[in-house]
Amino acid sequence: MTLQELYANISGDYSRALGVLRIDKLIDKHIRKFPNCGVAEAVIAAGETMDPVKLFETSHAMKGVCYNLGLITLAELASELSEEFRPGKPRRHSDEEVAALIAKIAGLYSVTAEGIRAYEASL
């Protein structure tokens, strides 16, 4: 499987990742680290306590990582979550709605991580 095929399989934006990381070798290196980097797990853990500071920090970090890797849908979901908990801004969603958003992030992360592991196994 090629990197382009991986990105097609996980609904990622290969050209975005290439624009940021510049060469396939760096994309390969960083995309393969993603399933084990802990960023999604940190968001999920913060959601269990609904700690607003942790939710902002972890989702903001996830947004950056995902945008840089071309994982746009995950980045957009993380961005929505980080804006919900941005310091100084009033919340717009209930805890139940936030939990549903975190569940959506967790589900998409799981599918993405599985796709990356399949890519790695194909090498």
Instruction: Compute CA distances 82 → 43, 74, 103, 105, whole Å.
Output: 10, 12, 15, 12
- pLDDT number for residue 104: 98
Distance (Å, whole) CA 60 – CA 78: 7
| pLDDT score recorded for residue 48 | 96
Sign of the alpha-carbon dihedral angle for 17, 11, 83, 63: negative
In the prediction, which pLDDT does 79 show?
98
Tokens read off for 43: 């968001």
Per-residue pLDDT, 94: 96
CATH no. for 3-122 = 1.20.120.160
Instruction: Report the pLDDT averaged over residues 76-96.
Output: 97
Structure token digits, residue 80: 């929505």
Q: For the chain, what is the mean pLDDT?
A: 97
**DSSP run (H or E) holding 111:** helix 95-122
Ordered DSSP codes for 32-67 = HHGGGS-HHHHHHHHHHHT-HHHHHHHHHHHHHHHH
pLDDT of amino acid 19: 97
Q: What is the mean pLDDT of residues 87-100?
A: 96
pLDDT confidence of residue 24: 97
HSE (side-chain half, CA atoms, 13 Å) at 111:
14
Q: By CB neighbour count within 10 A (0-12 exposed, 13-18 middle, 19+ buried), where does 41 fall?
A: middle
Q: Where are the domains of the chain?
A: 3-122
How much of the chain exceeds pLDDT 70, in percent?
A: 100
Mean pLDDT of 56-82: 98
